[in-house]
Structure 1
Amino acid sequence: MRAFKRWLDRSLTAQAVLICLLGTGITALFRRNEHPVVWVIQGVLYAAIAIAFVAVQRRKAGRAAGTDARGVAELNRKIRHREVPKDPDERASMRRLVTAHLGQMERGRRLLPFWLGAMGLVAAGMLVLGAATGSLIFPLVFGGGLIAFCCWALWMRRRSLDRCRYMRASLQS
C-alpha cells in the first residue's frame, strides 16, 4: 500500500487514471439513463481539469522550492513524516517549500470563514429545498456529509500548519 501511495504521489498519469475512473463511476451512478460513452467523456473531462490544476500547483511549488516535481513530492513526504534532511541544499529547498506552504495557508486563512459560510448556506439551501419537495433524506445526508467534509478540512489544515511550523523550527536550528 505504501508503494501505491508513493506512486500516486509522484505520477500525474496515475492520478489522471484514478480521477478518470472515479469520475466515470460517479457519473454512471448519477446519470444511469445516459449512454456509457457520455460517462467516459465526462470522466476524462474531470480528470483533465483536475490534472491541469495539480500540474500548475506542482510547477508553482517546484519553482518556490527550486526543484522538480519529484523533488517536491519527496520533500512533502519528508514534511509529512517530520524528517529533517541533513544535506544543506535539500535543507534550503525544504526551507523555501515550507515557507511557501505557510504563506499559502496564511493567505487562505482570510477566506476560510467565507468558504465555510458558503458551505453552510449550500447545506441550508438543500434542507429548505428538501423540505419544500417533501424529501428530506438526501438533503440530510448531503448536509451531514458537508459538515463532515468541513470538519475534515479544518482538521487537515491544522495538521498541515503544525507540520510546517515544526519543520520551520527544525530547519532554523
Structure 2
Amino acid sequence: MRSFKRWLDRSLAAQAVMIFLLGVGLSALFRRDDHPVLWVIQGFFYAAIGITFMAVHRRRATRAAGTDPRGLVELGRRIRHREVPSEPGERESMRRLVDDQLNLLERNRRWLPYWLGFMGLITAAVLALGVAAGSVTLPLVLAVAMIGFCCWIAWMRRRTLDRLHHMRAALREDHVRVS
C-alpha cells in the first residue's frame, strides 16, 4: 500500500487514471440511464479538469521551492513525517516551500467560511428538494456525506497548519544552531 501511495503521489498519469476511474464510477452510479460511452466521456472530462488543477498547483509549488517535481514530492513526504533535512540546500528549499504553503493557507483562510457556507446551502437545498420530491434517503445520505466532507476539510486544514508551523519552527531552530 505504501508503494501504491508513493506511486500515486509522484505520477500525474496515475492520478489521472484514478480520477478517470472515480469519474466513470460516479457517473455510472448516479446516471444509470445514460449510455456507458457518456460515462467514459464524463470520466475523461473530470480527469482533464483535475489534472489541470494538480499540474498548475505542482508547477507553482516547484517554483516556490526551487526544486523539481520529484524533489517536491520528497519535501512533502518529509513535511508529513516531520523530518528536517540535513543538507543546507534541502533546508532552504523546504523553508521556501513551507513559507509558500503557509502564505497560501493564510490567503485562503478568509474564503473558507464562505465555501463551507456555500456547501451548507447546497446541502440544505438537496435536502429540501428531496423532501419535496418524497425521497428522503438519498438526499439525507448526500447531506451526511457533505457534512463529513466539510469536517474533513477543516480537520485537514488544521493538521496541515500544525505540520507547517512545526516544520517552520524546526527549520528556524536548526538554522540558529548552525549559525
Q: TM-score, normalised by structure 1?
A: 0.97
Partner of 1:25 in structure 2? 25
Q: Could you tell me which amino acid in structure 2 is paired with residue 30 of structure 1?
A: F
Deviation of 1:35 after TM superposition, in Å, equals 2.0
Q: Could you tell me which amino acid in structure 1 is paired with residue 70 of structure 2?
A: R
Q: How does 1:5-84 map to 2 (within 5 A)?
A: 5-84=5-84
Partner of 1:171 in structure 2? 171
Q: Could you tell me which amino acid in structure 1 is paired with residue 146 of structure 2?
A: L
Deviation of 1:98 after TM superposition, in Å, equals 0.2
Partner of 2:122 in structure 1? 122
- 1:118-167 deviations in whole A, cap 9, x for unaligned? 11111111121122112111121111111111111111100000000000
Equivalent residue of 1:29, what SS? Answer: helix
Q: Could you tell me which amino acid in structure 2 is paired with residue 94 of structure 1?
A: M
Give the aligned CA root-mean-square deviation in angstroms. 0.9
- 1:52-107 deviations in whole A, cap 9, x for unaligned? 11000000000000011111111001000000000000000000000011011111
Q: Could you tell me which amino acid in structure 2 is paired with residue 40 of structure 1?
A: V
Q: Hey, what's the Cα distance between the residues in 2 that align with 1:135 and 1:28?
A: 20
Q: Is there any run of 5+ residues in structure 2 with no aligned partner, and where?
A: 174-179
Number of corresponding residues: 173
Q: Hey, what's the Cα distance between the residues in 2 that align with 1:34 and 1:121?
A: 28
Equivalent residue of 1:169, what SS? Answer: helix
Equivalent residue of 1:32, what SS? Answer: coil
Deviation of 1:33 after TM superposition, in Å, equals 2.1
Q: Hey, what's the Cα distance between the residues in 2 that align with 1:18 and 1:96?
A: 30
Equivalent residue of 2:33, what SS? Answer: coil
Q: Hey, what's the Cα distance between the residues in 2 that align with 1:39 and 1:124?
A: 28
Equivalent residue of 2:85, what SS? Answer: coil
Q: Could you tell me which amino acid in structure 2 is paired with residue 142 of structure 1?
A: L
Q: Hey, what's the Cα distance between the residues in 2 that align with 1:75 and 1:15?
A: 19
Q: Could you tell me which amino acid in structure 1 is paired with residue 152 of structure 2?
A: W
Percent sequence identity over matched residues? 64
Q: Hey, what's the Cα distance between the residues in 2 that align with 1:30 and 1:135?
A: 15
Q: Is there any run of 5+ residues in structure 1 with no aligned partner, and where?
A: none
Q: Could you tell me which amino acid in structure 1 is paired with residue 26 of structure 2?
A: I
1:161 aligns with 2:161: yes
Deviation of 1:34 after TM superposition, in Å, equals 2.1
